[in-house]
Structure 1
Amino acid sequence: TIGKQLSRELIKNLYSVGLDEIRFHVVELKLLKKVEYTVKCTNMDVGIEVPVIPGNMGFYKKLITEAEKRGAKFVNLNELEISEGNYKNLLERGLKLRKGTIASVEGSEEDALKILEWASKNTSNINVHYCSALYKDIVQTRVRLRRKALNIAKPYEKVTQEGTVLKGEIRVNIEFKNELFKFLENLPFDYETVNGKLIMFVSVSFLNNIAKYLKNKRIPYEAFIVEEYPGRERIIRNITPYHV
């Protein structure tokens, strides 16, 4: 939160409903008063997250020093990125794109690393981190994928930490449909038929049991672990044959 519209009452309300961490986007040092109030009046982890504008190292050093005095737990320094919303303002300041990147501002990372080095020698009770634009994009993409996957995953599907969806797939001749349905009657599954083949989608955790059952019954089958990206139309990331 930028913090300008964040009243003391709202801070208390957020804490009362269970918020356990808050990050302030501090563009002016006077906003640190709200950081101090939040530290004193709640048990939330209070931190600061700011993009590093090249040529402003004095501000960031002062920010870190004052944040530590007020009890903030951390300061996250983000590499400044050019976006559709800020590019005119950044160009007017004389800032430009770093070569070899699609959004990183030249000089931001260099200043951030210098600030980190300074902080390591001049602070003792606050953590200072740096996050590059590339790393942030990777993490944010993973978070978005995982959120989407959790919303659309079927009962037999598992959502990975990377935000993909895992499921087991069994293929048998259609003549074994009733027998296999009976075996799976208490488990979540889905199926489709293609060219005389029954394709069943099941939990990866139960794939081994099904494969063993089919093998013991001498029923010809194919089994796979399928990993997909979540979406209206699933994009397959990987298919791994499964054997017992």
Structure 2
Amino acid sequence: MTLSKGCILCHQGAKMVLFVTGRCHRSCWYCPLSSERKGTDTVYANEHPVDIPSQILEEAENMSALGTGVTGGEPLLCLDRVTEYCRMLKGHFGPEHQIHLYTAKAPTDDELGQMTGLVDEIRLHPPRECWETILESEFIRSAQRAKEMGFDIGIEVPALPGLELLIAALPFLDFLNVNELEWGETNASQMRERGYELADELHNAIDGAKGWAAELCRHGKVHWCSSAFKDSVQLRERLKRVADNTARPFDEITDDGTIVYGVLEPLPELHQASVQFCREKMEPDSFEDCGERIEMAWWLLEKYADEVPGKKYVLERYPNGGMIVEVTPV
């Protein structure tokens, strides 16, 4: 099995995901992109919206990123933005900051030239309708030019029937990644129309997808990336890196990389009294006055729950102000 340099860093959770646009020139039925991002010209660094480029560097610093994966949408529809961000990342972290880019286009010589020295690895996504004639497609010509220009080049596709058609492309590639086909909010109707079902109740993987990839995966350049791996390893390791860098002294970091802390929402007229109570009962680094609420070590909230009036709950969320996972009333 040949793992690309980008995949090696992904396995470590060391790659920032840089979503540069939700616009795309294709309408692949299996696209898992959320309705929140699909078709919008928005930028995200990991799960955080980006308004100014410096926020990208901040998010990369927060997770001690060793590299970045540029994705979309179709990144090449905003190539100026891609080159600006990649130049900024390379300038800040150094040329060793490994950057890979996904594209459903076959980059032209001009596009490849603009990315030279900024993008290290290109992952082509030839749509399913191209697979039967992959050797005659523009993707193979683009792959050959990319290799000549010094890029690591591969194909990355979801697991669909007919994957064995891509075996012919392997001599022109450094690697080929197959992602387990996943059920999503925006492709659910298309999945039902084709009679696809979930493999289990824990993940979004489609039943039968691994079998479709079996013949292709016998080849050494091919890497199978499961839905379970993305959920339970790749994301978890990335969250841990962020949590280690951003957690407050009283935040508890879980094995999944989420953080847990307690929240007290006192009545406005009792807010200052509640803060004073915390100052008298707790160490200074075990709580924080956040304006309308007080955040603290979850076990301290449970310990003093009967002594402080107000709404009280324990919060589990992604680190650095990320998505809320669970709220437990106290």
Indicate conservation of the 8 Å contact 2:247/2:320, yes or no. no
Change (3 A) 1:61 1:9: same
The reply to whether residue 77 of structure 1 matches residue 193 of structure 2 is no
TM-score w.r.t. the length of structure 2 is 0.42
- The residue aligned with 1:129 is 223
Query: What CA deviation, in whole Å up to 9, does each residue of 1:64-104 have, x standing for no partner?
Result: 332x221x111111111111122222222332222444421
Where does residue 152 of structure 2 map in the other structure? 45
After superposition, what is the alpha-carbon deviation per residue over 1:36-91, rounded to whole angstroms, capped at 9, x for unaligned? 2111122x22121111113x2xxx2331332x221x11111111111112222222
Alpha carbons 2:106, 2:124 under 8 Å: kept: no
CA distance in 2 between counterparts of 1:62 and 1:231 reads 43
Identity %: 31
**Using a 3 Å threshold, how does the CA distance of structure 1 residues 5 and 99 change in structure 2: closer, same or farther?**
same
- Distance in 2 between the 1:233 and 1:83 partners? 21
Distance of 2:246 and 2:197 partners within structure 1: 40
Matched to 1:41, the amino acid is: M
Q: Which amino acid aligns with 2:239?
A: L
Larger radius of gyration: 1
Is 2:153 aligned against 1:21? no
The residue type paired with residue 37 of structure 1 is R
Question: 1:103 is paired with a residue of what secondary structure?
Answer: coil
Q: Is the 8 A contact 1:83 1:103 kept in 2?
A: yes
| Structure-to-structure mapping, 1:51-200, within 5 angstroms | 51-54=158-161, 56=162, 60-66=163-169, 68-70=170-172, 72-117=173-218, 119=219, 127-142=221-236, 145=239, 148-149=242-243, 152=246, 163=257, 194-196=278-280, 199=283
- Report Cα offsets for 1:86-123 as digits up to 9, x if no partner: 22222223322224444211110122234323x2xxxx
Instruction: Classify the secondary structure of the residue corresponding to 1:46.
Output: strand
The number of residue pairs the alignment matches comes to: 174
CA distance in 2, matches of 1:92, 1:127: 33
Q: Quickly say closer, same or farther: Cα 1:128–1:5, change in 2 above 3 A.
A: closer
Using the alignment, how far apart are the partners of 1:79 and 1:116 within structure 2? 12
CA offsets 1:208-238 (integer angstroms, 9 cap, x no match): xxxxxxxxxxxxxxxxxxxx96243999xxx
CA contact (8 A) 1:77 1:112 kept: yes
Spell out structure 1 runs of 4+ moving beyond 6 A: 159-162
| 1:182-223: CA deviation from partner (whole Å, max 9, x where unpaired) | xxxxxxxxxx99353562559xxxxxxxxxxxxxxxxxxxxx
The 3 A distance-change label for structure 1 pair 234 and 116 is: closer
TM-score (norm 1): 0.55
Q: What is the alpha-carbon root mean square deviation over aligned residues?
A: 4.2
Gap runs ≥5 in structure 1: 120-125, 166-191, 203-227, 236-244
With CA pairs under 8 Å and 6+ residues apart, which has the higher RCO, 1 or 2?
Answer: 2
CA contact (8 A) 2:106 2:142 kept: no
Cα separation, 2, equivalents of 1:107 and 1:234: 31
